Amino acid sequence: MTHKFGVVALIGAPNAGKSTLLNQIMGTKVSIVCHKVQTTRCRIAGIFTEGAEQIVLLDTPGIFKATTRFERAMVAAAWEAAFEANEIIFIVDASRSIEKTDAIHILSKLQKAEKPFILVLNKIDKVKKEDLLPLLSQLNATGLVKKAFMVSALKDKYVDDLVVHIKSAIPQGEWLYPEDQLANISERLLAAEITREQVFHQVHEELPYLSSVQTELWEDYDNGDAKIVQIIYVTRQAHKGIVLGNQGQKVKQIGERARKELEKILDRKVHLYLHVKVDEKWQEKPEHYQSLGLNFS
């Protein structure tokens, strides 16, 4: 059998639905999802293998006008993935005008680089059909749209059509991963991401963007259970109190929900221990970037 292999980068403004689309294509959770922006911080690859095709789908951080070192590293990782991939899928939130999002900034850079892309208008379940055509025409006017799809990643509408096209577009080549491998990230990083997802869901306001989760210890027991110790880093003492909650109830809730999610994904019993530490300059430390595969510069 002649194999096909390709790398496809999913790019878009924050909260365009990249992670939801990736998980829908994969049929399982590979990347964390939250309605808040800047949820994805590193390049996470879902490895989709079906028939003769193997496709590495890169979920990238949302592209926006970065101001801090950490934000610039995330955006740089997204563009690096886009320019190295065989195909670029530019995901646009169809429920919002691109002028009101960072999508217009992304489009401008793609035009300057003369990089063709597959266009995906996502969240069509939130939009009237007659409102989609002007947006599609505006994007088609760039001359860079190779193919356009209208989908609802959340509702799994028309995602299969996109997958069929991707499979047809990738070149012949030998697979790089075993047939049963679903992602490129380690279990340690996946565990940290799952806990960070719960921080996003359970803690409101700006705190999630000023926090980070690292897996400090992973121990496999003889009975198949896993002991996981993680640190939630925050930048201020007041933030520590918010994450801990009254008598530690908030961090307990975060831990319980993360543990259940991990047990479902890992298919094993998990003993999860969370600690909260204050580190005002965690965003300036190289080890945090390295753990996410980001360049510290």
Predicted TM-score (pTM) of the model is 0.80
Kindly state whether residue 149 falls inside one of the protein's structural domains.
yes
Kindly state whether residue 174 falls inside one of the protein's structural domains.
no
Q: 118 lies in which domain range?
A: 4-169
For residues 133 and 89, state if they share a domain.
Answer: yes
Per-residue pLDDT at 208:
55
DSSP 36: S
Kindly state whether residue 297 falls inside one of the protein's structural domains.
no
For residues 101 and 213, state if they share a domain.
Answer: no
For residues 123 and 55, state if they share a domain.
Answer: yes
For residues 231 and 140, state if they share a domain.
Answer: no
For residue 122, the cross-strand partners are: 93
Centroid of chain to Cα 120: 16
Kindly state whether residue 28 falls inside one of the protein's structural domains.
yes
For residues 215 and 147, state if they share a domain.
Answer: no
Note the maximum CA span of the chain. Answer: 60
For residues 152 and 31, state if they share a domain.
Answer: yes
For residues 151 and 39, state if they share a domain.
Answer: yes
Kindly state whether residue 36 falls inside one of the protein's structural domains.
yes
For residues 162 and 194, state if they share a domain.
Answer: no
Kindly state whether residue 176 falls inside one of the protein's structural domains.
no
Task: Residue 164: give its domain's CATH number.
Answer: 3.40.50.300
Which residues are CB-contacts of 211 (< 8 A; sequence separation ≥ 6)? 196, 199, 203, 232, 233, 234, 235, 239, 243
Say what angle helices 249-266 and 187-202 make with each other, to 10 degrees: 140
Kindly state whether residue 76 falls inside one of the protein's structural domains.
yes
For residues 132 and 200, state if they share a domain.
Answer: no
Alpha-carbon gap, residue 99 to 105, rounded angstroms: 9
Count of domains observed in the chain: 2
198-to-208, 250, 258 alpha-carbon distances in Å: 10, 11, 6
Find out whether 81 and 40 touch, Cβ atoms under 8 Å.
no
The DSSP string of 180-248 is T--BSS-HHHHHHHHHHHHHHHHS-TTGGGG-EEEEEEEEE-TTS-EEEEEEEEESSHHHHHHHH-GGG
Residue at which a domain ends, from 169, 195, 216: 169
For residues 12 and 154, state if they share a domain.
Answer: yes
For residues 36 and 145, state if they share a domain.
Answer: yes
Average pLDDT per 10 consecutive residues for the chain, totaling 297 residues: 92 91 89 58 83 93 86 88 94 87 87 93 91 88 93 95 94 92 85 89 70 92 96 91 92 96 92 94 76 69
For residues 43 and 162, state if they share a domain.
Answer: yes
Per-residue pLDDT at 32:
60
Per-residue pLDDT at 138:
87
For residue 46, the cross-strand partners are: 57, 183
Alpha-carbon gap, residue 206 to 76, rounded angstroms: 23
Per-residue pLDDT at 205:
62
**Strand order across the 44-50 sheet:** 44-50, 53-59, 4-12, 87-93, 117-122, 145-150
